[in-house]
Structure 1
Amino acid sequence: MRGNDAIHLGLMLLALAAAYLVPFELLLLAYVVLGPAHYFTEISWLHDRSYYLPHRGIAVALAIVAVVAALIDNASWFGFAMWGALIVCAMLAATTSAVESMLLFMAAIALSAIMYSSGSSLAVIGILIPTLVHVSLFTLIFMVLGAYRSGSRVQATLVVVYLAAIATILLLPQTAEIRIASFARVGQDYFGNVGPALGRLFGVPGLVLDTRLTSLLAFVYTYHYLNWFIKADVIRWTEVPKARLAAMAAASAASTALYFYDYAFGFTFLLALSLIHILLEFPLDSLALRQLGAAIQGSARGWHAARTATAAPRSRPASSTASKRAKQSR
């Protein structure tokens, strides 16, 4: 196991243990302290790669959409903004032809119509995309894709441990007490709508932000941020001018301080900053999803070809057949 993989595993287990012991406190501290540092550094990294978009001007439009969405009170319109931005980014970054773009657009229109007809589906999408879908599902996709590309069994094991950690939290709920009541109240303000959204999605009435769901969010958020920071030597997000790195450190510290200085304004600012980084990451997320699909398809074809080759009857060598015929004619 490489040193980085050992650190990776250690941080994942540490996040799991903390999510069990202090879920309410961990969730808020991860979001308020680790979150801004992640947002600024990832936006910087994406900027150097043109946000995986054909034109950087599109990124400006996405940032504006994110800021406007942060101010929207209507859950359905917020969901429409998130869903629409994701589809547009997928069309721009993950399709390779006009035909693919058109097919994706038609499928999106059909799904949008279904969600609109079901009433609350757009609101559910709006809640889950910037939370569990972004911090957990897409994190898992990048982990699986990295393990596939590297062919590393250790990285594949990390994927299994990550899934096992989530299953442990869901199947073995903890009984952690709230040590800082104000943190729990603020966590309810930020993530209180995730429980009902999951309840509507899976048909589980009365699902709320209880200890188990809070522990899940605390774990996936904390690991999502830590996973970004420990990949510095892989994706090289630290390889920027020192002045920019210092500016990012100052901006992230100021964002955290702003939250504790003025909760209402800090809440709005962090929400807008979080949504900006999420929407700017949509093109990369869409591209990764396409690449993972291609990898799965390629592996399935290889497995089928190998199975076919193994099952095919072996033909006898010509020399062996001729020899047997010669013996029979004697």
Structure 2
Amino acid sequence: MNSGTRINVVNIGLMIFSCIAAFIMPFEVFLFAYAVMGPLHYLTEISWLHDRQYFTKGKYDHLILWAIGGIILLESLAYRNGWNWPFGSDFGNKIIFVALTGSLLMIFVKNAFIKIFGLLFILFISNAIFQPDQRDGFAFFIGALLPTLVHVFVFTGLFILFGALKSRSVSGLISFVVFIVCPILLFVLFRDKTFVEVTKYGQDSYIANGEGFYDTNLSFLTHLFNIEFPQMKDAAGNLLVYAGTDKPVPDYSNAASVVFHSQAGILLMRFIAFAYTYHYLNWFSKTEVIRWHKVPKVRFIVVIVLWVISLVLYGVNYALGLRWLYFLSFCHVLLEFPLNMVSITGIYKETVTIAKNGFKLSPAMAK
């Protein structure tokens, strides 16, 4: 068994482990993975991307992604603290869209002027696509799904597939199939069974004083599972609507029961727990290939110190840990966009090559 096959076998085992853990205690497994493995993943991946110039053509392209991350942090702080935010509620979606599509320019275009005009054109397009208080499917995809489930599941799957096609690895393709099958099993097996009820600590940490993942789950349940909540009424019995719209205000008084105890809430959480847990395990299992640990000693020490601080903060108060790492966690998503685009374009190129020449790796490619 060569090293590539061994890593793929290990990853299949990690997928199965993540799947079983997600069946048993989905909320707590996710919270543990996010707090313990998440910070170390952000720090080591950003360090690894930095040494590879973030897979961009320009030396300073990544600064645009860092700046977008900073703007998103400011927007989050403004809404959380009631500050006056000079831009519309759609601005976050606009710049995330710019970061995603602009990554194509960063990996293919070297000329700075073409890149700048291209990014401005993309921003112009985003102004036309996203409107204030817009809550259509694409806005939900960009603002809610892309930084979360698309990042940890879809892009991880594409990375696995690209690696398997590039190395012409049968075991790699098998691992990709297992990766797809695991969440299907999480949705179809034991649909009406909860192995371990979510604990009080799990619920409190998931809500995290309004700063946790609770609202995200509500959004997923309403958009992806079509869960409908009653409409709020005033004292006279009239339906309440959002200011300036005719959209009714949902009554979320029973939402906690739906998120933590309903069938849809449990099935959603199983998938989230699997996706995040394996996303992190996949990164650390490929240390031998990725070699993210091969960095200057000072930087490695800084990474470990920041990780330990993060663990302490999460241990003291989960909401405190989330606030501490919000900027870093979001930036690592943005900074990975160029690599995601490399994977997507790489899958296309490898598929075309395989269609022409067959699956066997050519001697030139093997070298």
**TM norm structure 1:** 0.80
1:113 maps to 128
- Say yes or no: does 1:269 pair with 2:324: yes
Contact 2:94 2:123 (C-alpha < 8 Å) held by counterparts = no
Separation in 2, partners of 1:234, 1:54: 23
1:27 maps to 30
Which segments of 5 or more consecutive residues in structure 1 lack a partner in the other structure?
A: 304-330
Contact 1:76 1:126 (C-alpha < 8 Å) held by counterparts = no
Q: Post-superposition shift, 1:102?
A: 8.5
Seen in structure 2, the aligned counterparts of structure 1 residues 195 and 163 have a Cα distance that, compared at 3 Å, is same
1:310 maps to none
Shifted more, 194-203 versus 266-275: the winner is: 194-203
Separation in 1, partners of 2:355, 2:126: 28
1:255 counterpart letter in structure 2: S
Seen in structure 2, the aligned counterparts of structure 1 residues 47 and 107 have a Cα distance that, compared at 3 Å, is closer
Contact 1:144 1:156 (C-alpha < 8 Å) held by counterparts = yes
1:192 maps to 214
Seen in structure 2, the aligned counterparts of structure 1 residues 199 and 213 have a Cα distance that, compared at 3 Å, is closer
Q: Aligned residues, how many?
A: 303
Separation in 1, partners of 2:226, 2:120: 31
Separation in 1, partners of 2:344, 2:175: 19
Contact 1:166 1:216 (C-alpha < 8 Å) held by counterparts = yes
RMSD of aligned residue pairs (Cα, Å): 3.1
Seen in structure 2, the aligned counterparts of structure 1 residues 223 and 112 have a Cα distance that, compared at 3 Å, is farther
- Say yes or no: does 1:282 pair with 2:337: yes
Seen in structure 2, the aligned counterparts of structure 1 residues 273 and 265 have a Cα distance that, compared at 3 Å, is same
- Select which of 213, 223, 226 maps to 2:278: 223
1:127-166 equivalences under 5 Å are: 127-166=144-183
Q: Post-superposition shift, 1:131?
A: 0.3
Seen in structure 2, the aligned counterparts of structure 1 residues 268 and 294 have a Cα distance that, compared at 3 Å, is same
- Say yes or no: does 1:91 pair with 2:105: yes
Secondary structure in 2 matching 1:238: coil
Contact 2:94 2:126 (C-alpha < 8 Å) held by counterparts = no
Separation in 2, partners of 1:105, 1:116: 18
Residues 66-87 of structure 1, C-alpha deviations (whole Å, 9 max, x = no match): 1331342466332223222112
Secondary structure in 2 matching 1:72: helix
Q: Post-superposition shift, 1:35?
A: 0.3
Residues 121-152 of structure 1, C-alpha deviations (whole Å, 9 max, x = no match): 32442111110110001000000001101111
Q: Post-superposition shift, 1:39?
A: 0.6
Residues 49-81 of structure 1, C-alpha deviations (whole Å, 9 max, x = no match): 111223343323322321331342466332223
Seen in structure 2, the aligned counterparts of structure 1 residues 302 and 3 have a Cα distance that, compared at 3 Å, is closer
2:262 maps to none
2:205 counterpart letter in structure 1: V
2:235 maps to none
Shifted more, 88-97 versus 232-241: the winner is: 88-97
- Select which of 54, 60, 64 maps to 1:61: 64
2:167 counterpart letter in structure 1: S
2:22 counterpart letter in structure 1: A
Contact 1:23 1:176 (C-alpha < 8 Å) held by counterparts = no
Separation in 2, partners of 1:115, 1:223: 33
Which segments of 5 or more consecutive residues in structure 2 lack a partner in the other structure?
A: 80-88, 230-257, 260-264, 359-367
1:164-183 equivalences under 5 Å are: 164-172=181-189, 173=191, 174-183=193-202
Q: Post-superposition shift, 1:197?
A: 4.1
2:85 maps to none
- Select which of 204, 218, 224 maps to 2:226: 204
Contact 2:161 2:176 (C-alpha < 8 Å) held by counterparts = yes
- Say yes or no: does 1:238 pair with 2:253: no
Separation in 2, partners of 1:115, 1:37: 34
Separation in 2, partners of 1:100, 1:198: 35
Separation in 1, partners of 2:125, 2:58: 28
Seen in structure 2, the aligned counterparts of structure 1 residues 191 and 296 have a Cα distance that, compared at 3 Å, is farther
Seen in structure 2, the aligned counterparts of structure 1 residues 169 and 120 have a Cα distance that, compared at 3 Å, is same
Secondary structure in 2 matching 1:237: coil
Q: Post-superposition shift, 1:120?
A: 0.9
Q: Specify the structure having the higher radius of gyration (Cα).
A: 1
- Select which of 37, 45, 50 maps to 1:42: 45
1:81 counterpart letter in structure 2: I
Separation in 2, partners of 1:105, 1:144: 33
Q: Post-superposition shift, 1:90?
A: 2.1
Separation in 1, partners of 2:32, 2:108: 34
Separation in 1, partners of 2:226, 2:156: 25
* Percentage of identical aligned residues: 31
Seen in structure 2, the aligned counterparts of structure 1 residues 215 and 203 have a Cα distance that, compared at 3 Å, is closer
Seen in structure 2, the aligned counterparts of structure 1 residues 88 and 21 have a Cα distance that, compared at 3 Å, is same
Residues 224-274 of structure 1, C-alpha deviations (whole Å, 9 max, x = no match): 000000111111111122332222122111112123334444221222110
Shifted more, 3-12 versus 257-266: the winner is: 257-266
1:76 counterpart letter in structure 2: D
Q: Post-superposition shift, 1:196?
A: 4.6
Q: Post-superposition shift, 1:26?
A: 0.6
